[in-house]
Structure 1
């Protein structure tokens, strides 16, 4: 066998082995779940919570928490990131309950007390079931979808299929496939990635206001990602920039909390552009 053919076979074999490993190991690379015993008791200081379980048609159980307030203004369906469980993520509910909003959080399949085989289709279906249950008790005009990192894609998908009051994306990605190409551009990721999560495609069908929050020093998901996403539905979207913010520390910035306060508590009002530099002079004269 010629030397070049021998080298070609080695490269081809290595490529195939790497592809197979990537396909079967990506779940362990992408998700960092924390599993909790069935008898684990959730507790958060100064928070009223109710734990619940949702059974799915394929026999899985989705575990969640409902953080309650008196006379709530609305409810925030908070979709968390790819690590830990709602045991730790629950601490962020206070950022909404202190403003008078209830919060619902759930663990994805395989996280916390939730069970079931995790696929993109299954998780989307689970979250729609939870959304439907929220909708049975609360009008959609009072439902806010909040997606953090991994949860931003799922939140966008939900918003594209429903009519919530607004969609808030915290450190969102354009798509997980495109994000992975940044690290392994030579792999056929469109065929290998089980969770492509094309946020940019789903965002095209969202009809509610979209608020995007991102830190300028995010090393995992670059700030420019949110700039690109904000251009997909420019009339509905607004980009909020946390100067110096990273991927996991936005809640430590005062500016983040000011932004959140403005987003969820300020009623939108139309801007009168008459007399501004945006309105052509000839049009102003006609008026």
Structure 2
């Protein structure tokens, strides 16, 4: 056997072995869960919160929190990022309760007090179950879906299958395959990714208003990702750039809170385009 062929075969074997390893260990890279003991008691100052547990059809338990306000205008289903548990994420509920909205947060399988074998299909099924439970109590026109980072894909999938009032995406990705591809450009990710999370595909089937919030200096998921997503359903979508914002610090920008307030408290306005400058062309000198 020629030396060059021997080398090629070894390279191919190593490549295949690495691909197989990545297939099985990617869960540990994508998810950074925080486990909580069953007797852990949630507490948030100046917030009224109720804890609940939902048992799924395969025997898993999905643990969640319901932040309550008096005379709610609606409810926000907040789908968090890939780290920690709702123990810490619950601190962000105030950004919605202050506007008169109840907030529901859940931990994905393996996070916090939630149990069950994790997979993209299982998490999607769990979240639809949670959505159905909310829909039993609240009309869909009062339900807001909010997806943060990892949760943006799941929120988009839910919006594509239901009819919520609106979809808010915070630092969303085009797909997890694309994000991962930035760090492993030579791996067959389209084949080995167990969590491809194609947000861009699901967004095509969303029929409610879409609001995208993204920091212009996000080094994990670039701002240009949201620019591309905003072009999928342009008539339904508005993009809100947080100038100077990164991936994990948008809540520290006043502009984020101002934009979020405008999004959830304002009603869409119909525009009579015939009364605008639409179609007017600039003259050569302008």
Q: TM-score, normalised by structure 2?
A: 0.97
Equivalence for 1:216:
216
Q: Which residue of 1 aligns with 2:262?
A: 262
- For the residues of structure 1 that align with 2:276 and 2:129, how far apart are their CA atoms? 47
1:87-131 CA deviation, whole Å, 9 max, x = no partner? Answer: 000000000001110000000000000000000000000000000
Q: 2:73 — aligned with what? A: 73
> Does the 8 Å CA contact 1:273/1:279 hold for their aligned counterparts?
no
- How far the C-alpha of 1:10 sits from its partner, in A, is 1.8
The answer to whether structure 1 residue 23 and structure 2 residue 8 are counterparts is no
Residue 279 of structure 1: how far off its partner (Å): 4.1
In structure 2, the residue matched to 1:184 is 184
Match of 2:245 in 1: 245
Gaps of 5+ in 2: 282-286
Q: What is aligned with 1:273?
A: 273
- Runs of 4+ with deviation above 3 angstroms: none
SS, match of residue 151 in structure 1: helix
The aligned counterpart of 2:118 is: 118
Structure 1 Cα separation of the partners of residues 73 and 156 of structure 2: 22
How many pairs does the alignment contain?
281
Corresponding residue of 1:284: none
Is the Cα contact below 8 Å between 1:79 and 1:154 reproduced in 2? yes
More divergent stretch after superposition (93-102 vs 182-191): 182-191
> Could you tell me which residue of structure 1 aligns to residue 159 of structure 2?
159
Mean Cα deviation higher: 179-188 or 153-162: 179-188
Instruction: Supply the distance in 2 between the matched residues of 1:271 and 1:246 (Cα, whole angstroms).
Output: 34
Q: Distance in 1 between matches of 2:96 and 2:74?
A: 10
Question: Would the aligned equivalents of 1:145 and 1:167 in 2 still touch at CA under 8 Å?
Answer: yes
RMSD: 1.0
| Separation in 2, partners of 1:275, 1:175 | 39
Separation in structure 2 between the aligned mates of residue 102 and residue 131 of structure 1, nearest angstrom:
14
CA distance in 2: counterparts of 1:161 and 1:273, whole angstroms: 31
Question: What does residue 56 of structure 1 align with?
Answer: 56
Match of 1:92 in 2: 92
Q: Secondary structure in 1 aligned to 2:245?
A: coil
Structure 1 residue 244: Cα displacement: 0.2
| CA deviation vs aligned residue, 1:122-159 (integer Å, no higher than 9, x gap) | 00000000000000000000000000000000000000
The unaligned stretches of length 5 or more in structure 1 are: 282-287
Once the two structures are TM-superposed, the CA of residue 280 in structure 1 deviates from its matched residue by: 5.4
Deviation string, structure 1 residues 206-242 (Cα, Å, up to 9, x no partner): 0000000000000000000000000000000000000
Q: Aligned equivalents of 2:222 and 2:70: distance in 1?
A: 38
CA contact (8 A) 1:177 1:196 kept: yes
Cα deviation for residue 275 of structure 1 reads: 3.8
| Contact 1:49–1:68 (8 Å) recurs in 2 | yes
1:230-241 mapped onto 2 (5 Å cutoff): 230-241=230-241
Give the Cα separation in 1 of the matches to 2:277 and 2:262: 26
